[in-house]
Amino acid sequence: MKYRSEIDGLRALAVIPVILFHSGFESFSGGYVGVDVFFVISGYLITTIIISEIFQDKFSLINFYERRARRILPALFFVSIITLIISPFILVSEQIMDLGQSLFSISVFASNYFFYTEIDYFNEFSLLNPLLHTWSLAVEEQFYIFFPLLLIALTRFGKRYIYILSAILLVCLLSLFASVELASINRDFAFYSLHTRAWELMIGAIASVLLYANYIRPTKQSNYFIINEILLLISLMILLLSFTLFTSSTLHPGLMTLMPVMATFFIILYANQKSFVGTLLGHNALVKIGLWSYSLYLIHYPIYSYIDIYFDFINTNERTAIKITIIPLIF
């Protein structure tokens, strides 16, 4: 798989707003949308890995699961253990019990459904559980379990891109429909569930198939190049605006979520080192942060959670100031 520095830059663009949102930085009221960007990127990368190996007759389900485990679990277990070790010094007994239940749900890749029964992600008590943010990892882990099986089944009928693309598009539309419908009835369940988040991962998968099958190709024709540049700039603006315009009251995931998701989709499709946006995202500083993004995502939330719990005697603005001040420590 060819390395694309702009994808790591896009990861940086996703994780920074998430950290600022959890710090309480009001200007990034929609920073949580960074998780949706991660979903699209994951769908793109995982699909590219799987279909490239399937079409080369090199794909092994066991090897795939092993690589995913090596990528995800060491850092996750490390952060979980550190969080548990610190807990007796900050948490009361009931909170430690909740943390223990969280750890069990994480170990069986089901923390998203555990937290659905426990915590509204957007209420003022969400930071009282130091591992709440692992819900998104559970969604991805569940996706990693089922999605390769779908692709293997599809290629049994013949290794044709149109079969894969059609099936992915169908799953995407069904999931989007479920997301929109359920968000208006049970927003928390829609927020945490795999079947209402799958469409975001599928959007990334669609980008992967379009690029891998050469349905989308870089063009050197000046007119099309200008159109691509304009599309990329608009997509980047929409993505950045989503981080600031979305709020906790935005019906999410839903139709509004299409804004950042489709913006990410177009950036993945058309950004490269010959485009302005691709060059911008490929800047060394952003790429570095992007390479750290998984660790940054894992470690920042327990730190912020313990700050909220330990300094509960001061007001929210003062706690936000502390969180912003220690961002360099998080890095």
Residues 42-97: tens digit of each pLDDT: 999 999 999 999 988 898 999 999 999 999 999 999 999 999 999 999 998 888 98
**Predicted confidence band of residue 249 (pLDDT cuts 50, 70, 90):** confident
Among all chains, which residue has been given the structure tokens 């060819």? 2
State the sign of the Cα–Cα–Cα–Cα dihedral 39, 266, 45, 13: negative
In angstroms, how far is CA 184 from the centroid of its own chain? Answer: 22
Q: CA–CA separation, 230 vs 210, rounded Å? A: 20
Token pair listed for 17: 């707003």
pTM of the model: 0.94
pLDDT digits (tens, 9 = 90+) for 195-209: 999 999 999 999 999
CB atoms inside a 10 Å sphere around CB 249: 8
Average pLDDT over the chain reads 91
pLDDT (0 to 100) of residue 2: 81
The interaxial angle of helices 34-55 and 135-155, nearest 10 deg, is 30
- 43 vs 169: CA distance, rounded Å: 13
Average pLDDT over residues 8-25: 95
CB atoms within 10 A of CB 99: 20
pLDDT attached to residue 120: 76
How many other β-carbons are positioned within 10 Å of the β-carbon of residue 59? 18
Reported confidence tier of residue 114, pLDDT bands at 50, 70, 90 = very high
| Distance between CA atoms of residues 73 and 75, nearest Å | 6
Mean pLDDT of 92-107: 90
Residue 171 to residue 306: CA distance in whole angstroms: 39
Give the residue among 201, 185, 104 at the shortest CA–CA distance from 151.
201
Residue in the block written with tokens 């798989």 = 1
Cis bond upstream, residue 74 (ω within 30): no
